[in-house]
Amino acid sequence: MVAQVAQRTGASVEREAVGRAVRTAHGKTYGLLRATVTVGDNPGFHGQGIFARPAEYDAVVRYSNGLGHQRPDHQLGAACGMGVKMFGVPGPTLLADEPDTGTFDLNLINNEVFFANTAYDYMVIEELFAELPEGLANPSRRKTWMAEFLTRRGALTDPDGWLWDELFAMLSFTTVPRRNLLSYTYNSMGAFRYGDHIAKIRTVPTAESLAALTHQIVDVHADNEAFRRTLVAEAAERDHSFELQVQLNTDLARMPVDNTSVKWPEELSPWVTVARVDLPRQDIGGDDNLAAADATSITPWRSREEHRPIGEIQRVRQEVYRRSSIERHRINGQQRSEPVSSAQLLG
């Protein structure tokens, strides 16, 4: 099933190609920024893998919209992604075709839960999401769209087996407010090994960074490119920073790994800061910045064994992201190779 999903993903990339190929998710890029990731002194259970000892890594951060379309912002939702790529991280990656690149990626989004948990879910949802946002905005289509989502287009006939958790998770994305991209908390949603433990990962704006934001309003109806223009302006004015946090799994029943549609309760396990992501003041306003962002590949499997993604939907992502990247670069005539530094991408 995973191979079938990956094959269809490659075909979807090509169908989206109008002038150039775009991602089937996170198709619209808002910018690529230089960054530094600083790992602190993390004692006990939280000092695992690459977070086991203090270190500083050169990095880039990419912001994007969650849907796979190139459209004005008011025709897209507010689900947005933050991708982090770190350079010079010791150890081999989990990708067999690029074990020694030294890069380490995090794929994060501004919501706590996800809406697909199996390979079959992913395959059906990809087709349904190609209709968004019209599928939910059109009253004549909304009910049947949601019914197809809930029953996986009629494959699930027993109401007890309908995907209610996934439906509520999907609807939660419609309530995400449109805000400055630098003001969101971004979550991994899926789980990872964390040394001898299991964890999720997120980034949270530091208090000082959040307080310093001046472009709070993102008016997508007044400006078709409101997310990008706000990000460009904010990046040019000051430094910004995030805390990188982990939440350890302490109860597999109440903190399920294979159901990413369920939020892990913080009363069972609090989020703990293990590193900091700093974005220095910089100019990202040129078209060359968007081109660099578009050519940058970020996947949760460009990781290390101590941080192996776990759960079925994470295994789906391994081949789907790889195939999507290969096909997109092929169609666009871009060389597909991992950079070795932020300077290589951004000069």
Residue 16: pLDDT over 80: no
Residue 176: pLDDT over 50: yes
- Distance from C-alpha of 80 to C-alpha of 304, rounded to nearest angstrom: 25
Task: Give the pair of three-digit tokens for residue 147.
Answer: 């019914």
Q: Which of 13-27, 118-132, 148-162, 245-259 has the lowest mean pLDDT?
A: 13-27
Cis before 133 (ω within 30): yes
Q: Above pLDDT 70, what percent of the chain?
A: 90
Q: Band of the pLDDT at 4, cuts 50, 70, 90?
A: very low
Task: Give the pair of three-digit tokens for residue 88.
Answer: 């010079």
Amino acid 329: pLDDT: 65
Q: Band of the pLDDT at 326, cuts 50, 70, 90?
A: confident
In whole numbers, what is the pLDDT of the chain averaged over residues?
89
Residue 337: pLDDT over 70: yes
CATH of domain 2-110+179-346: 2.40.180.10
Task: Give me the residue spans of the domains in the chain.
Answer: 2-110+179-346
Amino acid 112: pLDDT: 96
Helix (H, G, I), strand (E, B) or coil at 130: coil
259-309 pLDDT, tens per residue? 999 999 999 999 999 999 999 999 999 999 999 998 898 999 999 999 999
108, 84 in Cβ contact below 8 A?
A: yes
Residue 59: pLDDT over 80: yes
3-state secondary structure 36-94: EEEECCCCHHHCCHHHCCCEEEEEEEEEEECCCCCCCHHHCCCCEEEEEEECCCCCCCC
Structure-token match 């994060």, residue found: 108
Amino acid 2: pLDDT: 44
Alpha carbon distances (Å) from 217 to 213, 223, 320: 10, 11, 35
Residue 15: pLDDT over 50: no
74-104 pLDDT, tens per residue? 888 899 999 999 999 999 999 988 889 999 9
* Closest among 107, 40, 129, 112 to 302, alpha carbons compared: 107
Residues in the chain: 347
Residue 151: pLDDT over 80: yes
- 244 burial via Cβ count (<10 Å: 0-12, 13-18, 19+): buried
